């Protein structure tokens, strides 16, 4: 085994689920039950643009809201595109954590926003920097990933969650919390959602991409009723109608108890991979500080300035290691005058789709390049 790992290319690029964890047999069974059940023809016809009602009911129950407060869309990026298109006009300001999810940054920009990155500490966004930026820029919304953040792996502390909703209330902006990884907790206890602290200021976005399958493209948004009504109308104008068979399969996946057992399988598969990446960093990069997450898909490191990070991606590729450009995760990779090259030195390590052996070999290769 070790000799095999040592010769193969290792992909620390996309945050994708492990292929072996994709429940194709169970989903086949669920699809069959949905298509041959009493709703079999309903889920092939044009449907309500808010999504398949039984799925909206299921999500509504989970979040203790009305089904009309749930919009099911074609993956959460699609929903981000919709609410950004609705809330923003050109020149409006959006805050993101710095670093943040690269595609969200791009989406908000494409919708006309000026995107400002607020430095992310190991326990959530830096509150001093945030309040200063709020006063200066008056954001329309702030986009945060409070649990096992993509890319940094950071979980926002309870105190900072409370501070975020208080700031949103005082300065009148929306908080968008993106929580696709929240359920994938391998240790410790969940902290409250932002919406648990102030449901009127918060739009919650999540999806089944990491919990069942990305190719189902079933994501959802939960928010205040008047807003969700308008977003649902906009969804109809852009994609007309929902993909009902996949949404019905997700409902069936829950009904049969597969969601719970599949989640347990995912945790058992991913937890040792998280331990492997943490251990490998401590072994091969002992000087590098990083947030040690209790769940999710990502650990990330910020290489200290004394490391040689020049042409890192190219040199990594030559060593059989594929990395994502760290600058992509920074709304402004050169914004911090005290540390102007931080984006170049930021390395994200998605660990779920790699074996512990591949992870160790990958971090070792990374360390050897520095």
Shorter beta-carbon distance to a copy of itself: residue 16 or 370: 16
Mutual angle of helices 76-87 and 102-110, in 10-degree steps = 30
**φ, ψ for residue 123, nearest 5 deg:** -120, 20
76 versus 309: smaller Cβ distance to a copy of itself? 76
Q: Which is nearer to a copy of itself, 73 or 343 (CB)?
A: 73
CB of 69 to a copy of itself, least distance (A): 23
Rounded distance, CA 120 to CA 293, Å? Answer: 14
Residue 314 Cβ vs a copy of itself, minimum distance, rounded to whole Å: 23
Taking the complex as a whole, the smallest distance from the CB of residue 261 to a copy of itself amounts, in Å, to 17
Task: Give dist(CA 173, CA 117) in Å, integer.
Answer: 16
Q: What is the CA radius of gyration of the chain?
A: 21
Of 161 and 217, which CB lies nearer to a copy of itself in the complex structure?
217
- Catalog residues that contact a copy of itself under the rule CB under 8 A: 14, 16-17, 19-20, 22-25, 27-28, 31-32, 35-36, 40-41, 43-47, 74-75, 77-78, 81, 103, 106-107, 110, 213-217, 237-246, 249
* DSSP assignment string, 14-66: -----GGG--HHHHHHHHHHHHHSTTTTGGGS---TT--HHHHHHHHHHHTS-
- Identity of the residue, 217 or 315, whose beta carbon is nearer to a copy of itself in the bound complex: 217
* CB closer to a copy of itself out of 164 and 249: 249
Least separation in angstroms between residue 1's CB and a copy of itself is: 22
Please state the closest distance from residue 119 (CB atom) to a copy of itself, in A: 26
8 A C-beta contact, residue 361 and residue 316: no
Provide the minimum distance between the beta carbon of 214 and a copy of itself in the complex, in angstroms, as a whole number.
5
Cis, peptide link before residue 151, omega less than 30° from 0: yes
Nearest 5°: phi and psi at 13? -110, -75
Contact 208, 73 (CB under 8 A): no
How many Cβ atoms from other residues are within 10 Å of residue 67's Cβ?
17
């Amino acid at each position: 085994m070790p000799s095999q790992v040592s010769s193969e290319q290792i992909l620390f690029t996309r945050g994708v689920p492990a292929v072996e964890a994709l429940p194709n047999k169970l989903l086949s069974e669920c699809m069959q039950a949905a298509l041959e059940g009493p709703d079999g023809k309903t889920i092939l016809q044009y449907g309500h643009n808010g999504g398949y009602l039984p799925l909206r009911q299921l999500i509504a129950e989970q979040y203790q809201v009305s089904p009309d407060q749930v919009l099911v869309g074609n993956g959460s990026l699609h929903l981000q595109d919709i609410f950004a298109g609705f809330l923003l006009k050109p020149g409006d300001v959006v805050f993101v954590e710095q670093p943040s999810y690269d595609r969200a940054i791009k989406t908000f920009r494409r919708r006309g926003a000026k995107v400002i990155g607020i430095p992310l500490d190991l326990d959530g966004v830096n509150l001093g920097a945030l309040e200063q930026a709020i006063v200066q820029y008056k954001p329309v919304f702030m986009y945060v990933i409070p649990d096992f953040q993509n890319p940094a792996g950071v979980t926002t502390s309870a105190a900072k969650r409370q501070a975020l909703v208080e700031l949103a209330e005082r300065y009148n902006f929306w908080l968008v919390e993106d929580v696709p990884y929240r359920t994938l907790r391998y240790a410790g206890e969940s902290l409250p959602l932002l919406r648990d602290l102030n449901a009127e200021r918060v739009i919650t976005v999540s999806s089944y991409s990491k919990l069942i399958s990305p190719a189902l493209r079933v994501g959802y948004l939960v928010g205040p009723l008047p807003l969700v009504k308008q977003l649902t109308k906009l969804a109809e104008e852009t994609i007309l109608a929902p993909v009902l068979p996949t949404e019905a399969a997700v409902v069936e996946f829950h009904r049969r108890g597969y969601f719970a057992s599949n989640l347990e399988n995912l945790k058992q598969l991913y937890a040792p991979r998280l331990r492997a990446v943490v251990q490998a960093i401590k072994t091969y990069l002992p000087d590098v500080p990083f947030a040690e997450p209790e769940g999710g898909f990502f650990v990330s490191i910020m290489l200290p300035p004394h490391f040689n990070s020049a042409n890192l991606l190219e040199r990594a590729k030559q060593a059989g290691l594929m990395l994502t450009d760290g600058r992509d995760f920074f709304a402004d990779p050169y914004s911090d005058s005290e540390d102007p090259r931080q984006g170049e030195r930021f390395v994200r390590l998605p660990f779920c789709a790699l074996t512990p052996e591949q992870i160790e070999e990958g971090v070792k290769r990374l360390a050897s390049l520095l």
